[in-house]
Copies of this chain bind each other. A is one copy, B any other.
Amino acid sequence: MAGPAVVLLSGGLDSATTLAIAREEGFAPYALSFRYGQRHALEVEAARAVAQQLGAARHVVAEIDLRAFGGSALTSDLPVPTGRREAEIGRGIPATYVPARNTIFLSYALGWAEVLGTDHIYLGVNALDYSGYPDCRPEYIRAYEVMARLATRAGTEGGRSLRIHTPLIGLTKAEIVRRGLALGVDFSLTRTCYQPDSQGRACGVCDACLLRLKGFAEAGAVDPVEYRGS
């Protein structure tokens, strides 16, 4: 029987592919999503659909509220940047950065992993992310593992050793799309847009949409989600 692995699942393209990879690598995926006051709560519904399509062993949605602290366009009322060129997207830390978000998400994953008795956590960060977000960089992930091994009963009493798997970390968006398609991910269920309309249609112009569309184009595939005006 496959052992459990906790997979952080946002409902986007990257985390869906990551869940499929965890399963391919022999784990029973325990999917973990968050409802954290994001403006696009459709993400959580997408995560549910993805978890079901890819056969997650269980899917938990944890309720957290980062709005208490403010500080990001994704959880407050600051405008989301649109229409930027890729060179701009990769430069500096974007306004959509949520303070300590991956640190908080990984901490919940660590708690669940401990209860499940597993040392395996999957996180879908990739090279495009870590050019912009400090908490997506490989050196951050390694430091998190060191801390986590000291934090838990398992790391203290046994010879066990927590590992954060980041299978997308060296991949381009096009490579992620190809990998996901090969593993049977239904990308029509995923949500990437920072500002979908009331019917859930993507805008096609925010940073996230631009990177996604470019990824599908370079992979020679058609993005199955609906865009406004398309």
Contact = CB atoms under 8 A, between A and B. Distances in A.
Interface of A: 60, 62-66, 68-71, 93, 97-104, 106-108, 110-112, 114-115, 134-135, 137, 139-140, 143-144, 146-148, 150-153, 155-157
29 contacts: A62-B64, A62-B68, A68-B112, A71-B111, A71-B115, A93-B153, A93-B156, A97-B153, A98-B111, A99-B111, A99-B115, A99-B152, A100-B111, A100-B151, A100-B152, A103-B111, A103-B151, A104-B108, A104-B111, A134-B152, A134-B153, A135-B152, A137-B150, A139-B150, A140-B147, A140-B150, A140-B151, A144-B151, A147-B147
A135 B151 contact: yes
Across the A-B interface, the 5 shortest Cβ-Cβ residue pairs: A100-B111, A71-B115, A99-B111, A143-B147, A99-B114
A98 B112 CA distance: 11
Contact of A110 (B103, B144, B148): B103
Contact of A69 (B69, B71, B111, B137): B111
Given A139-B150, A143-B146, A115 B70 contact: yes
A61 to B, nearest CB: 8
Contact of A147 (B63, B65, B103, B104): B103
A66 B104 CA distance: 13
Contact of A112 (B69, B107, B115): B69
Copies in the complex: 2
A100 to B, nearest CB: 4
Given A97-B153, A99-B153, A143-B150, 12 more contacts: A60-B69, A68-B112, A69-B112, A70-B115, A71-B114, A99-B110, A99-B111, A100-B111, A103-B107, A134-B151, A140-B150, A144-B151
A107 B64 CA distance: 12
Contacts of A70: 115
A66 B111 contact: yes
A66 B112 CA distance: 9
Contacts of A112: 68-69, 99
